[in-house]
Structures are given as structure tokens and as C-alpha cells.
Copies of this chain bind each other. A is one copy, B any other.
């Protein structure tokens, strides 16, 4: 049985087409993400010292952490997802996403490596941040910076390897822009904003400490 991916000579023996519609797959993801974000938003309101920006950040870290662990974690450790005969939501996600980037179905080493690092390290660390921001832990800024840098590095490796390998992995222009470009753009934009914010906060804290020491002399 043929597969819908590009390049069309990609060998995927025993490929089983997905049975959920793209609309259903995206709707389940969006709705469950909104449910998670709403829950975190409501809970975070009970911490009086957490600012509005920090409440948004807690929602982001819960959303991105669960995406890393559940979706990307499933992919990283399921080399045969494209053979799945059951309408399992997680294999359906990656059967559909591979239309935007067939390197997922083809098990490209660079993609699997980045997804593995993201799922195993950045996922749990993102969830830890939800707690760290609520508790105003001293490490909350440096951990936000560290994970966001990791997300940016991973996205850079993801796009640059694709370009070096010919950038011909999408089934159509629509899939190229909707899945490969648009869906990933959030993990460039939001980490960049967080890096700028945390960087400034860390420098301000270092500066304040230097001035305190200078005064003490």
C-alpha cells in the first residue's frame, strides 16, 4: 500500500493510513490545550504574588511541557507509529504531521534526536516551571532561560537539517506551511520572547547585587 508522503520513493513497509480527519486531530489538540491552560490560569489566580505575565507563563509551560512529554515523547519512542492499525490518537497525530515533514515517518536521526531531548529533558523541566513560578523559586528565571534556549536550539537544528537535506519533505504547499512552518513558529516566537525577558531579569538581579556589594564597601 502506498503512502501520502514526499519523497514518494520513501520506503514505509506495512504503512497503515490514519483514520481520524485532520480537523479532528487538530480540534482534540486545541481543545485539550485550552482545557490545560484554563485550569492553570484559574489555579494560578490563587497565588497573590504571581503577576499576570507569570500566570500566562505558567499556562505556556504547562501546555508546552505536556506537548513535549505526551506528543513528542510518544513519537521519540515509537519508531513504528506509521504501522499502527488502531485509531490511536498519538499515532494519528504523527501520521498526519508527517505530511508536513516526512522525516518523522522516515525516522530521520536528527529529528528523533531533537524530539528525544525535548521530550525527556525539556518536557519534565517545563512542568517543574509551573510549580517554580507559583512558588517564586529563585531558579525560575534561569530555568525558563535554559529551556527556552533548548527549544530554540532544537528548532534551529530541525529547520537547518531540513534545508541541508533539500527541504523536500512536505506532501503539499498547504502541509508545508500549515504544519512545518506555522505549527513550529510558536516554538521560535515564544521562547525568543521568554529569553529576552529572563535575560533582562537575570542581568537586573546581578546588577542589583553588584551595587549592594559596592554600597557595603
Contact = CB atoms under 8 A, between A and B. Distances in A.
Contacts of A161: 109-110, 113
A112 B199 CA distance: 29
A102 to B, nearest CB: 15
A205 interface: yes
Contacts of A212: 208, 212
Most central of A150, A157, A210 by chain B CB within 10 Å:
A157
Chain A interface secondary structure, helix, strand, loop or mixed? helix
Given A142-B199, A146-B149, A113 B206 contact: no
Contacts of A209: 204-205, 208-209
A209 to B, nearest CB: 5
A43 B168 CA distance: 51
Contacts of A116: 160
Interface residues of A, number: 36
Contacts of A154: 153
Contacts of A205: 202, 205-206, 208-209
A141 interface: yes
Given A161-B109, A208-B212, A212-B208, A203 B142 contact: yes
A186 to B, nearest CB: 20
B208 A164 contact: no
Interface of A: 109-110, 112-114, 116-117, 136, 138-139, 141-142, 145-146, 149-150, 153-154, 156-157, 160-161, 164-165, 199, 201-210, 212
Given A109-B164, A117-B156, A117-B157, 20 more contacts: A110-B110, A110-B113, A110-B161, A113-B156, A113-B161, A113-B164, A116-B160, A138-B203, A138-B207, A139-B203, A139-B206, A142-B145, A142-B199, A145-B146, A146-B149, A205-B205, A205-B206, A205-B209, A208-B208, A208-B212
